[in-house]
Amino acid sequence: MVWVMAKLLTKYKLALEKLGLKQLDVYRFKDKDIIRILTPNREVVVIELPRKREEMSIDEFIDHVKKHLGAK
């Protein structure tokens, strides 16, 4: 079961890499995830997701990350 969850969550990490970002950490809470990412200019950004990653579609996840990075 752990392997299946890890494989499921890998697609979110790969989606970040396609944007040129590197996932550093994921903090999992009861109702949401917080991710730390490294941008191409070596800036560490903390993004609070509205809910757990696996409850979001990949497109919704990417849109949320882009929106957060655009607001900076």
pLDDT tens digits, 13-26: 999 999 999 999 99
Could you report the per-residue pLDDT of 36-55, keeping only the tens digit for each?
999 999 999 999 999 999 99
| Annotated domain spans of the chain | 2-70
Instruction: Report CA torsion sign: 50, 28, 15, 67.
Output: positive
Q: Indicate the pLDDT class of residue 10, thresholds 50, 70 and 90.
A: confident
Quickly state the pLDDT bin for 61 (edges 50, 70, 90).
very high
> What is the rounded distance in angstroms from the CA atom of residue 5 to the CA atom of residue 25?
16
Residue 4 has pLDDT above 60, yes or no: no
